[in-house]
């Protein structure tokens, strides 16, 4: 069914948003009978939100072009995460704007009193998360007697998150005459059971199943040394230079650390994880949408429902835990016909695990190495030449041309100054360890960690035990200050007024330069290399002194005393004996 056959307000809204023709999943639901329940499986980024918005239009509008005055809700849409629920609400708001539709939210982390007030004022569609929606229904804030349709978006994810009880309570509270639509990337056994129980004569639609690789996403896998993951993230971001990128980590702690490290290197980065409040998450997403941030470092909380149109690159700093997570993470890019890249950073010892993961996800990836510093500089030179030519070919304003006349310099010097100016804001690329077989064969054996270790350089910081120095904060501080990882810091000696520590020799110069460039609170602690190895005091004698024998005691027998005979087992009356 083409969009032209839809009710005029919906067709006008789609045209205004640039929709020329329906996507496959939208075509499938529009061609389905309007009175049947639907169980739809379609991959992420296929236009499911607009699809179910159009699918329930007939149930809400009937033959009219405008909705009746808002009162009790006519439709309920349930989504697994706050971000997805708010995104669905935004999409349905513009889709139903010309029909007079009022869309309200019921999302965990938001003010429940304000939500209840919105329900009392009337809403045609309520979009929310399972726990908050059930809570409003139990309290009587959401009236369910008028519901004509219930939509469950990303139903498989809601069951994975443990929302089965909430979903069943919501469906039990809805009228039996309502239409039930379930949308999911996959249809596992649990979803099939839920559909069997709560849907009537459901039509099963499979569109772009998981067996098909997403044609708009290019998968790449880059082998890196385990200690080079963070530096590889930096080089991939610099080499690809996407308008917007998302980096996935396994834990909240890794998200906080990596986002702070990227920000220190000059990337406009924000973090997104489950420990953040809803207002913080909303602020981070808004910064990404309005261009103030270019990199989002996130846990898998952002693997579903985040729709950022300019997102062109997804980096898996930590490997996904399963094929579904890989697909959902990667699905943040390559949406709505746009092209995108999904890059897996694979530590060398985990190559087999990554290969099995890709095989299970039915994904074919291009294998290679992460871009090194030389490759990044080469790509920089190409971009800088193009950018400089564009600026030079752009007609100058009269004021600018007049100022240029005062510059008494040859054209080559002016061009070099322009290139330098353009290169200035770019974060420095990182050197990566050579993981080729030839380099591994030529690599010397690791030197023993002794006092005269030639593979380490000693540094000292002017903070010691008297200042509260503690390894729990000192080691992360040194890594952040010198842009190194924990394995590059050796022994740490916390003295009274200073701390002495080792840095791996191959990064010592870079560590010193980064330490000198520190700003803000970090700069309050001076960190400098030591000219000579710190002297170590004499080793204390821990031998226990011999007790002199008393006067007149018999001499010890030659060869020592004989061994004591073993004690016979206790054979008493079974009662415990205590020595007084």
Q: Where are the domains of the chain?
A: 3-207, 217-371, 374-395+409-421, 453-529
Return the pLDDT at 45: 66
Angle between helices 229-240 and 373-393 (to 10 degrees): 20
Strands (E), 477-521: 489-494, 499-504
Q: Are 307 and 87 in contact (CB under 8 A)?
A: yes
- What is the arithmetic mean of pLDDT over 454-475? 83
- Ranked by mean pLDDT, the top range of 138-142, 180-184, 420-424, 517-521 is 138-142
Tell me the pTM: 0.61
- The class that CATH gives domain 3-207 is alpha beta
DSSP run (H or E) holding 388: helix 373-393
| CATH for the stretch 453-529 | 3.30.70.330
CB neighbour list of residue 240: distance below 8 Å, 6 or more residues apart: 312, 313, 341, 343
Return the pLDDT at 532: 47
Return the pLDDT at 193: 87
Distance CA 223, CA 254 (A): 20
Answer yes or no: is pLDDT of 328 > 80. Answer: yes
Q: In what order do the strands lie in the sheet with 203-207?
A: 103-106, 125-128, 75-78, 149-152, 179-184, 38-42, 203-207
Distance CA 459, CA 492 (A): 10
Q: Are 217-371 and 453-529 the same fold in CATH?
A: no
Answer yes or no: is pLDDT of 267 > 90. Answer: yes
Distance CA 328, CA 332 (A): 7
- What is the arithmetic mean of pLDDT over 18-22? 81
Distance CA 292, CA 306 (A): 17
Return the pLDDT at 556: 61
Answer yes or no: is pLDDT of 139 > 70. Answer: yes
Homologous superfamily (CATH) of 217-371 is P-loop containing nucleotide triphosphate hydrolases (3.40.50.300)
Output 229 or 420, whichever has higher pLDDT: 229
Return the pLDDT at 210: 47
Give the percent of the chain with pLDDT over 70.
86
Phi, psi of 502 (to 5 degrees): -95, 145
Answer yes or no: is pLDDT of 438 > 90. Answer: no
Query: Which residue matches tokens 């054209």?
Result: 411
């Amino acid at each position: 069914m083409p969009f032209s056959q839809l009710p005029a307000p919906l067709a006008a809204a789609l045209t205004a948003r640039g929709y020329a023709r329906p996507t496959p999943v939208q075509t499938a639901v529009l061609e389905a009978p309007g009175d049947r329940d639907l169980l739809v499986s379609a991959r992420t980024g296929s236009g499911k939100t607009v699809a179910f918005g159009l699918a329930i239009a007939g149930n809400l509008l009937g033959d009219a072009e405008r909705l009746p005055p808002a009162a009790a809700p006519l439709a309920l849409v349930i989504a697994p995460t706050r971000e997805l629920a708010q995104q669905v609400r935004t999409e349905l708001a513009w889709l139903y704007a010309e029909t007079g539709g009022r869309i309200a939210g019921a999302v965990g982390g938001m003010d429940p009193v304000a939500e209840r007030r919105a329900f009392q004022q009337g809403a045609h569609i309520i979009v929310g998360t399972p726990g908050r929606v059930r809570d409003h229904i139990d309290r009587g804030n959401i009236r369910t007697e008028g519901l004509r349709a219930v939509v469950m978006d990303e139903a498989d994810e809601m069951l994975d998150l443990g929302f089965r009880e909430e979903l069943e309570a919501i469906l039990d509270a809805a009228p039996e005459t309502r239409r039930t639509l379930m949308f999911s990337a996959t249809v596992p056994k649990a979803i099939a059971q839920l559909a069997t129980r709560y849907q009537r004569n459901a039509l099963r639609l499979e569109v772009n199943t998981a067996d098909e690789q997403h044609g708009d996403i290019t998968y790449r896998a880059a082998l890196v040394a385990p200690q080079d993951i963070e530096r590889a993230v930096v080089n991939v971001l610099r080499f690809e230079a996407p308008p917007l990128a998302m980096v996935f980590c396994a834990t909240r702690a890794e998200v906080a650390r990596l986002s702070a490290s990227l920000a220190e290197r000059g990337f406009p980065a924000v973090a997104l994880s489950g420990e953040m409040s809803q207002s913080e998450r909303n602020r981070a997403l808004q910064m990404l949408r309005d261009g103030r941030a270019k990199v989002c470092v996130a846990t898998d909380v952002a693997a579903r429902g985040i729709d950022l149109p300019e997102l062109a690159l997804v980096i898996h700093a930590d490997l996904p835990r399963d094929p579904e997570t890989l697909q959902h993470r990667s699905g943040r890019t390559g949406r709505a016909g746009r092209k995108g890249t999904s890059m897996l950073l694979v530590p060398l010892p985990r190559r087999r695990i990554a290969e099995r993961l890709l095989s299970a996800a039915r994904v074919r990836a291009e294998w290679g190495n992460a871009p090194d510093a030389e490759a990044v500089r080469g790509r920089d030179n190409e971009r800088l030449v193009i950018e400089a030519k564009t600026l030079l070919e752009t007609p100058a304003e009269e004021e600018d041309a007049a100022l240029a006349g005062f510059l008494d310099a040859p054209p080559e010097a002016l061009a070099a100054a322009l290139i330098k100016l353009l290169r200035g804001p770019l974060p420095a690329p990182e050197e990566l360890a050579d993981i080729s077989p030839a380099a591994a064969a030529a690599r010397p054996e690791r030197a023993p960690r002794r006092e005269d270790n030639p593979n380490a350089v000693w540094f000292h910081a002017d903070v010691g035990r008297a200042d509260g120095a503690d390894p729990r904060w000192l080691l992360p501080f040194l890594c952040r200050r010198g842009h190194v990882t924990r394995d590059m810091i050796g022994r740490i000696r916390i003295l009274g007024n200073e701390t002495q520590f080792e840095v791996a020799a191959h990064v010592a110069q870079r560590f010193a330069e980064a330490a000198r460039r520190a700003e803000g609170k970090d700069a309050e602690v001076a960190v400098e290399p030591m000219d000579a190895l710190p002297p170590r005091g004499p080793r204390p004698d821990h031998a226990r002194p011999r007790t002199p024998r008393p006067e007149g005691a018999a001499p010890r027998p030659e060869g020592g005393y004989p061994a004591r005979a073993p004690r016979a087992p206790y054979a008493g009356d079974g009662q415990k004996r205590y020595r007084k």
